[in-house]
Structure formats: C-alpha cells, structure tokens
C-alpha cells in the first residue's frame, strides 16, 4: 500500500520555526538537500559557543520580516550545484508544514536571489513521503485554503 502524498512541481509551505508562511517552493528531485534563500550569513561566538546568524528572504520580498535568525544547531556541507561546481553551505535543522503535517527538514542556507523561488525542496525531504506529479501545483496550499473555509 502506498501512503505517499502527491505533491506538484510547485507549492507554498509554512516554516513555523522561521515565522514564514505560504512561502513559494520549487520541488526539485535533482537536488539532494532543500535550500532556503538567505543573506548576511555570519559565524559568530556567543557565550563561548559558535553560532550562525542570517536573514531569510530579501527585503523586497512581501514576507520579509527583517528578523535576524540564529542557530547553534548547524553544520557545513559540501554541495554540488546544478552547474557542476562545488561549494560549502551551512545547513540548519527546522520544520516545514505541508498538507497540514509538520515535517523535520534540513535547509541549506543559500543565496537564491537570482532564482524565481526562495525555497527548493529536495530529495531528502521528499523521499518516502511524497510522489511528484509535475503536472500539478500548489496541492498542499490549496488543501490548506479549503480547510480554512
């Protein structure tokens, strides 16, 4: 029996830990890890611990909240881009809400300023949970709106 949810090629998701809601996402089965657009990423020391600070989205984005986020729970990961070059990015642990369910997610902090969608959802999140139907879009978001009414 298949209990996977069908997700389209695009959707909108909530990130409750990051105070972001209805954020446009591109589903990318070619990407291993999910990514979120950020800027001003800095490593700092606070009370003897190394932490990472960052801002999500761009000031021009309608949901930009100007909050400086910080996390002690991060790691650095080598990422190979779709263009074939390798770079190191920081990965944070967070949660995403899709289809009314809260799911743990690893998010790479990435400069996606030139990209159309601020969030990319990759294979690590999709695996064993979702089937992708590229002819569909906003299935989770539409379900959320139906349940509101």
- For residues 39-48, average pLDDT: 91
- CATH code for position 48: 2.40.70.10
Tokens 């591109």 — which residue?
Answer: 26
Q: Express each pLDDT in 107-139 by its tens digit.
A: 999 888 777 899 999 999 999 999 999 999 999
For residues 101 and 145, the model is more confident at 101
DSSP letter for each residue of 66-103: -PEEEESSEEEEEEE-TTS-EEEEEEEEEEEEETTEEE
Report the sign of the C-alpha dihedral through residues 92, 27, 125, 30, in that order. negative
CB 81 within 8 A of CB 89: no
Q: How many domains does the chain have?
A: 1
pTM (whole model) above 0.75: yes
**What is the rounded average pLDDT for all residues in the chain?**
90
Confidence bin at 1 (pLDDT 50/70/90): very low
What is the rounded CA–CA span in Å between residue 87 and residue 141?
A: 32
Tens digit of each residue's pLDDT (9 = 90 or more) over 3-17? 899 999 999 999 999
| Domain that residue 81 falls in | 5-148
């Amino acid at each position: 029996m298949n209990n996977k949810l069908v997700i389209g090629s695009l959707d909108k998701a909530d990130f409750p830990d990051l105070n972001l809601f209805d954020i446009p996402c591109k589903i990318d089965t070619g990407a291993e890890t999910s990514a979120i657009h950020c800027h001003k990423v800095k490593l700092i020391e606070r009370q003897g611990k190394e932490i990472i600070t960052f801002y999500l989205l761009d000031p021009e984005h309608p949901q930009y909240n100007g909050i400086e986020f910080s996390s002690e729970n991060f790691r650095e990961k080598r990422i190979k881009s779709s263009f074939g070059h390798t770079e190191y990015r920081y990965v944070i642990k967070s949660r995403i809400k899709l289809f009314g369910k809260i799911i743990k997610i690893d998010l790479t902090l990435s400069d996606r300023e030139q990209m159309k969608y601020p969030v990319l959802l990759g294979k690590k999140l999709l695996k064993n949970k979702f089937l992708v139907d590229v002819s569909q879009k906003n299935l989770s978001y539409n379900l959320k709106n139906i349940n509101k009414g």
